[in-house]
């Protein structure tokens, strides 16, 4: 009998497959369904700092006669309402399940949401995922200035809560490997979640409007996280949860082979239903039995980047050989 348990953020997971932050865990019935289909843990939908700020300023802009105190009051009320809805959801999720419930905050600065973390901790969340989406699109900012935001945020959050912290980040950095290594050295990050999938702009040429291309990923989108988990898993001691493009049991196996501690999935659950979790767990177990691996540790990292072994493909960006014969 194979054992697919793993440890993540100091929590014991029955399966390495975690439900990624998304609206799928917005209601308790769905959360129970995710648990009964074998989810290792659930990351709740993020509280979005940007959204809260936008909502407050929208309400304020309805009446320009408001003074400074009223502006502050409205912002505070909106934040408190959102936060109390969120903490209520955490409490409900905790009292209806036996698997870890991870809260999530999306931050664009080191300001607004710092007070949120202690409320989330009090509500009983098992851990906190910080979704920090930094797009280095401001040409006035150097790479150091962009990257400094990660350090500022995690330092402040670390001081505000004792919960284990997972940092979910983007792949946008000219010095990504170095950035991840330095973030791991801060001691403030208990796991990395590589990588978030962002809004992907496209253009409708008939209406000449900006649109969004596919909200959901496909298995082909796995290569970015596969590459970077492979490159980083031997370099840092902090565990990595892989996400984006993981749709099948085979995708889970690939990520563990390159050194992921666990994986997070969203799109495949929207597309194939919550029962996809149990299918993926079964595929993982069947493969392990066939390969005679009893635990995930028996094969974790076997195909991670290692300069001594033939894994240099993870550092290749040009196709060369692959394109060579195509005319």
Residues in touch with ligand FMN (CB under 6 A): 20-23, 45-46, 104, 106, 131, 168, 196-197, 215-217, 243-246, 264-268
Q: Which of 146/267 has CB closer to ligand FMN?
A: 267
Closest CB 63 distance from ligand FMN, rounded Å: 30
Count how many residues are written for the chain. 327
The residue among 3 and 272 lying less far from ligand FMN, judged by its C-beta, is: 272
How far apart CA 211 and CA 239 sit, in angstroms, is 36
d(C-alpha 139, C-alpha 152), whole Å = 20
Minimum CB distance to ligand FMN smaller for 15 or for 268: 268
Specify the residue, 74 or 241, whose C-beta has the smaller distance to ligand FMN.
241
* In the complex, minimum distance from the CB of residue 274 to ligand FMN, in angstroms, rounded to a whole number: 13
Q: In sequence order, which residues have a C-beta less than 8 Å from that of residue 49 and are 6 or more positions away?
A: 105, 106, 107, 108, 109, 112, 113
- Residue 301, sorted as left (phi over 0), alpha (psi -120 to 50) or beta, turns out to be left
Other beta carbons within 10 angstroms of residue 194's beta carbon come to 29
Q: Which is nearer to ligand FMN, 25 or 146 (CB)?
A: 25
CA–CA gap between residue 125 and residue 273 (Å, rounded): 25
Contacts of 285 (CB under 8 A, 6+ apart): 2, 4
Of 245 and 249, the one with the shorter C-beta distance to ligand FMN is: 245
Nearer to ligand FMN, 6 or 104 (CB): 104
Q: What minimum distance in Å lies between the beta carbon of 83 and ligand FMN?
A: 15
Q: How far is the CB of 144 from ligand FMN (least distance, A)?
A: 25
175 close to 231: Cβ distance less than 8 angstroms = no
Using CA atoms, how far residue 93 sits from 29, 43, 101, 125, in Å, is 9, 11, 7, 9
**3-class secondary structure, 309:** coil
To the nearest whole angstrom, how small is the minimum distance from the Cβ of residue 175 to ligand FMN?
23
CB-nearer residue toward ligand FMN: 254 or 293: 254
Q: Tell me how far apart the alpha carbons of residues 84 and 120 are, in angstroms, rounded to a whole number.
A: 9
Q: Report how far residue 228's alpha carbon sits from residue 314's, in angstroms, rounded to the nearest whole number.
A: 8
CB of 136 to ligand FMN, least distance (A): 19
* Beta carbon of residue 222, minimum distance to ligand FMN (angstroms, whole number): 8
Rg (alpha carbons) of the chain, rounded to whole number:
21
In angstroms, what is the minimal distance from the CB of 172 to ligand FMN?
A: 15
Secondary structure (3-state) at 324 = helix
Q: What is the dihedral of CA 210, 215, 218, 222, to 10 degrees?
A: 90
């Amino acid at each position: 009998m194979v054992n697919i348990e793993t440890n993540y953020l100091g929590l014991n997971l029955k399966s390495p497959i975690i439900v990624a932050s998304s609206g799928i865990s917005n209601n308790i019935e769905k959360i129970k369904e995710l648990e009964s289909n074998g989810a290792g843990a659930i990351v709740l939908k993020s509280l979005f700092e940007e959204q809260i700020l936008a909502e407050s300023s929208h309400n304020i802009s309805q009446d320009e006669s408001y003074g400074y105190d009223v502006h502050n009051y409205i912002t505070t009320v909106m934040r408190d309402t959102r936060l109390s809805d969120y903490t209520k959801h955490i409490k409900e999720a905790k009292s209806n399940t036996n698997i870890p419930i991870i809260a999530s905050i999306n931050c664009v600065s080191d300001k607004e949401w710092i007070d949120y973390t202690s409320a989330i901790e009090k509500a009983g969340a098992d851990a906190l995922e910080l979704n920090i989406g930094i797009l280095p699109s401001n040409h006035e900012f150097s790479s150091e200035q962009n990257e400094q935001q990660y350090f500022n945020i995690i330092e402040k959050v670390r001081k505000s809560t004792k919960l284990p912290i997972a940092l979910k980040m983007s792949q946008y950095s000219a010095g990504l490997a170095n950035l991840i290594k330095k973030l791991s050295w801060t001691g403030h990050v208990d796991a990395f979640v590589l990588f978030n999938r962002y809004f992907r702009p496209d253009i409708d040429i008939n209406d000449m409007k900006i649109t969004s291309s596919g909200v959901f990923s496909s298995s082909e989108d796995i290569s970015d996280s596969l590459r970077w988990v492979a490159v980083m898993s031997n370099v840092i001691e902090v565990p990595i949860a892989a996400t984006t493009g993981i749709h099948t049991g085979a995708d889970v196996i690939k990520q563990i082979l390159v050194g992921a501690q666990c994986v997070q999935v969203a799109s495949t659950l929207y597309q194939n239903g919550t029962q996809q979790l149990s299918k993926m767990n079964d595929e993982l177990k069947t493969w392990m039995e066939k390969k005679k691996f009893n635990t995930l540790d028996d094969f974790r990292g076997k195909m991670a980047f290692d300069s001594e072994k033939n894994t240099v493909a993870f550092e290749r960006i040009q196709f060369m050989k692959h394109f060579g014969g195509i005319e």
